[in-house]
Chains A and B, each alone.
Chain A
Amino acid sequence: MSDRFKGMVLEGKLDLPFSYSAGRTASRFFIELRDHQRIMGKRCPRCNRVIVPAQLFCKECFTKTDDWVEVGPEGTLITFTVVYRKESHHPKDAPLAYGIIRLDGADTSLVHLLAETDVAQLQPGRRVRAVFSKKRIGHILDINHFEMA
């Protein structure tokens, strides 16, 4: 600390492309979003929970899920935040809002964007509805956001 030597600082940048395999279960989840505007979960044969987004296995029972079940598109807001800090990794400009949503028919919750960014309008327990993107490519953002139902 006493040594206030001003050292050289060299600039660098990590900018590397990646390709992530979604796998069989998430692929079908995304195809259903893209082609049918349907949000799908999978049921655990052991505990009977409907897990959303659809997963290969139930984390509690450590058992493969089997039946596909359509859930939503409406659900209940569990919690939310409105982010005011601008960040380059945000998919749209701040303020933007996130919610954890329990879709009707599901036993786990979905994390997604909310259209409403006025904190006064948002409350846990409020009903919300998925709004699908016009251009869908098989991606989590094929759900554009959730709006107040």
Chain B
Amino acid sequence: MNLRVGIIGVSQTKYETNKSYQAITDTVFEVVQEAMADAGVSREDVDSIVTSSVDLWDGRTASNQMLTDVVGAIMKSESRVAGDGLGATFQGMMTILCGASDLTLVVSQCRGSMGDPYGISNWVFDPIFQQPLGLDYLSAAALQANHYMKRFEITQEDCARVVVKNLNDAQNNPQAQVAKETTTDDVMHSPMWAYPIKEMDAAPVSDGACAIVLASQKKAKALSKNPVWILGAGCCVEAHYLGDRDLTEGEALAKASKKAYEMAGIHDPVKELDLAEVSAEFSYQELLWTELMGFCGRGNGIKFLEQGMTSAEGALPVNPSGGMIAGNPVTVAGLTRLVEAVLQVRGKAEARQVQNAKMALAHGTTGCCGQGQYVMIVGN
């Protein structure tokens, strides 16, 4: 990139099963106030706002209508991404890179508790060929999981190890919804939901929100002593129809990561990255995504994990926060990953801090089985 975009403020809520003690607008107001305070800016300083929310999750259409007031958007430029929060960050970054904005607020919110989560995901599918079959994120993911696991001889116990790592590490994350000492037996004994995915292989569904403040290079340097820079970014999308894709290949993620690495000047992600926060809604996805992001060879995601490479003290910690398995604010998840990555690079990740973290990867995904993929590299 010719000019850099800085991240000068971040905030996230605790992820909870149910935030019914607050209205959505209460939650968003809090998180926006915190991000602006973190950046040391006020509403007057903000030029543009990008929000991310999805109508069906919010039980209303044009769901950003309710957000304009509480994100401070009145008489400012506001637009919405109906998808993942990291995708909204791409749009926020572009408002700055094109010169339209010097300071952009990106806000993402979702309440999984409001509706019927897998029922809503049934409506993600095209209404002609897939939706009438009753497919949802769980059954589609199970088709991908089974294909991937059979192709590379990955066992259910292997996937359980991902859950164990995440739920144990989540004990260091005060924002996590689920955090506990977990064994592979616990996971293996949880009910089978959609073969080979069991209840504990699936992320819970959470309520939560995140906000970040992006700034142009000049503004970031003026406002912040130590801005975190977006060093690389890549996004890529695959076909929607499940039968059009080889669900074990995930070319979109491979391409998105490659682009982000090139931009950031990364040749060897394992050596050069200090940690990665990846959006894995199901345990197998953490293995599959790490392979596709080039952390290890195809089919070696489990070996990479077993060698301890992705553990909190490993060569390339993956999800020291516990990831989505510890809290899944659905369409917010990618922005959660970015907030975690920024906190790590700032050295402010408290008990989950990875030592000497200087460069981190944040990953977000949208659609089923990783249809849309976003990768962002941030560093000092």
Contact = CB atoms under 8 A, between A and B. Distances in A.
A139 B127 CA distance: 11
Given A26-B128, A108-B243, A78 B193 contact: no
A7 interface: yes
A74 B98 CA distance: 53
Nearest to B147: A79
Interface in B130-158: 130, 132-136, 138-139, 142-147, 150
Interface in B38-56: 56
Interface in B52-108: 56, 59
B244 A59 contact: yes
Interface stretch (A62-70, A81-89, A128-136): A81-89
A140 B129 contact: yes
Interface string B1-41: 00000000000001000001111000000000000000000
A83 B138 contact: yes
A90 interface: yes
B192 interface: yes
A109 B241 CA distance: 9
Contacts of A59: 239, 244
A98 B139 contact: yes
A119 B192 CA distance: 12
- Among the interface residues B119, B134, B136, B191, which one has the most CB atoms of the partner chain A within 10 A? B134
A100 B243 contact: yes
A148 B218 CA distance: 65
Nearest to B134: A90
10 contacts: A22-B128, A26-B129, A83-B139, A84-B192, A85-B193, A89-B119, A111-B135, A140-B128, A141-B132, A141-B133
> What 5 A-B pairs have minimum CB-CB distances, sorted nearest first?
A81-B142, A109-B243, A79-B147, A90-B134, A89-B122
Interface of A: 1, 3-7, 9, 12, 14, 18, 20, 22, 26, 52-53, 59, 78-85, 87-91, 96, 98-101, 108-113, 119, 124, 139-141
Interface of B: 14, 20-23, 56, 59, 116, 118-119, 122, 127-130, 132-136, 138-139, 142-147, 150, 191-197, 239, 241-244, 247
